[in-house]
């Protein structure tokens, strides 16, 4: 199997929403296709993926550095010697030739788009959903009954208020989600707590509501929010402080008895190892949210899961950031603890296709070949434009 072409297109996200730190109205995502010389059903075999949500497109990094390296490589050097098929790990290694270690920023997301497209390619070659390909490659049985899922929303919007937030949460619950997440840190403490209390009231229990500060707080503010939210019994408190300040996160963990969640802004196994060493994580409760689409792809992400298990943290504590089809298949294939969904924001990438069944708080991927991105109605047109 030979890679003949790799394409990238920057696709904008729809909607003007904000968290406590970032406005997403100008964000873009790199949609990537990997083309091969294999023909199936009369068409060249093509893998498709993207670099997750929440950063920006990386077209320059891909076109100037990574794609040329792959296309210039000896095709045999990119193949699994046993099967003769593309090996995502070998493609990733080729993309990183002449890249210095450390500094895992946008290049990690750029590489991930291509690496994940190779997994889509392999699944389509075998005419099976990606979760089966992923499970087999990692010696596991996929989750048989789908994955626990929660609806991530509660963003700050131009037309905002507690009534709008209540209506949003009610819509998620009516759709079949049993848990939700909202943003905090974008308003004064008292107003934010009113929003959280309204979300808990609408959901019926704090155990069904998580909050996300997106790394906004210093120690005093993080602890003030923790104290104000403690009576609500929340599901988790996410990224209260800068994600790379492991010492500060340790201080929060020492003071806050509830569940903490973090990790979505760690882009390498080495960063994850440092969080596990120095971040004060509690193996019996805390959640890790690293995202393969932001961190060099599934090859690197599997190393992160292995590091968790080596330190006594079960893989069921991994619940990737992202809210999209790529991570749904990874969660089901690797047997992780669950995933988020973006049913109301970040289109065309957020959320799932109509053929993914949502039942009693669990999401079931379809059996479409690959990640099934072509089955997502609002994304299908972007893929067609990329391939045409």
Catalytic annotation, residues: 183, 321
What does the DSSP 8-state code read for residue 18?
Answer: B
Query: What 3-state DSSP class applies to 37?
Result: strand
Block residue for tokens 């899922």 = 149
The token pair that represents 168 in the structure block: 């949003």
Q: How many degrees, rounded to 5, is the angle at CA 214 between CA 221 and CA 284?
A: 85
Structure tokens at 322: 């992202």
Is the distance from CB of 351 to CB of 303 less than 8 angstroms? no
Q: Give pairs for 192-196: CB < 8 Å, separation 24+.
A: 192/225, 193/225, 193/228, 193/229, 194/162, 195/154, 195/162, 195/165, 196/229, 196/232, 196/234
To the nearest 10°, the Cα dihedral for 119, 120, 125, 131? Answer: 80
């Amino acid at each position: 199997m030979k890679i003949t072409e790799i394409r990238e297109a920057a696709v904008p996200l729809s909607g003007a929403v904000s968290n406590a730190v970032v406005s997403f109205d100008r964000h873009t995502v790199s949609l990537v296709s990997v083309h091969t010389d294999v023909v199936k059903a009369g068409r060249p075999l093509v893998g498709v993926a993207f670099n997750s949500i929440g950063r920006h497109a990386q077209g320059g990094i891909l076109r100037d550095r990574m794609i040329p390296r792959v296309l210039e490589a000896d095709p045999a050097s990119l193949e699994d010697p046993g099967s003769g098929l593309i090996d995502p790990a070998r493609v990733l290694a080729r993309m990183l030739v002449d890249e210095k270690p450390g500094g895992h920023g946008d290049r990690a997301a750029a590489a991930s788009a291509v690496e994940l497209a190779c997994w889509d390619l392999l699944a389509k070659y075998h005419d099976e959903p990606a979760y089966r390909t992923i499970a087999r490659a990692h010696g596991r049985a996929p989750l048989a009954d789908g994955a626990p899922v929660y609806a991530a929303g509660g963003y700050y919007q131009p037309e905002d208020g507690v009534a709008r937030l209540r209506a949003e949460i009610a819509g998620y619950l009516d759709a079949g989600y049993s848990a939700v997440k909202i943003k905090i840190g974008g308003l004064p403490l008292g107003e934010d707590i009113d929003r959280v209390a309204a979300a808990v009231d609408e959901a019926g229990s704090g155990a069904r509501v998580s909050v996300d500060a997106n790394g906004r707080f210093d120690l005093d503010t993080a602890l003030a929010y923790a104290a104000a939210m403690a009576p609500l019994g929340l599901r988790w408190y996410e990224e209260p402080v800068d994600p790379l300040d492991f010492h500060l996160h340790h201080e929060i963990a020492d003071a806050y008895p509830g569940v903490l969640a973090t990790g979505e802004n760690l882009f390498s196994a080495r960063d994850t190892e440092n969080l596990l060493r120095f971040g004060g994580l509690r193996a019996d409760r805390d959640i890790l949210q690293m995202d393969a689409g932001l961190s060099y792809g599934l090859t690197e992400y599997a190393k992160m899961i292995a590091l968790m298990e080596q330190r006594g943290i079960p893989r069921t504590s991994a619940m990737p950031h992202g809210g999209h089809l790529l991570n749904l298949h990874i969660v089901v294939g690797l047997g992780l603890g669950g995933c988020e969904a973006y049913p109301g924001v970040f289109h065309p990438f957020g959320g799932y296709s109509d053929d993914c069944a949502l039942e009693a708080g669990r999401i079931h991927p379809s059996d479409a070949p690959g990640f099934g991105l072509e089955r997502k109605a609002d994304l299908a047109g972007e893929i067609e434009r990329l391939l045409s």
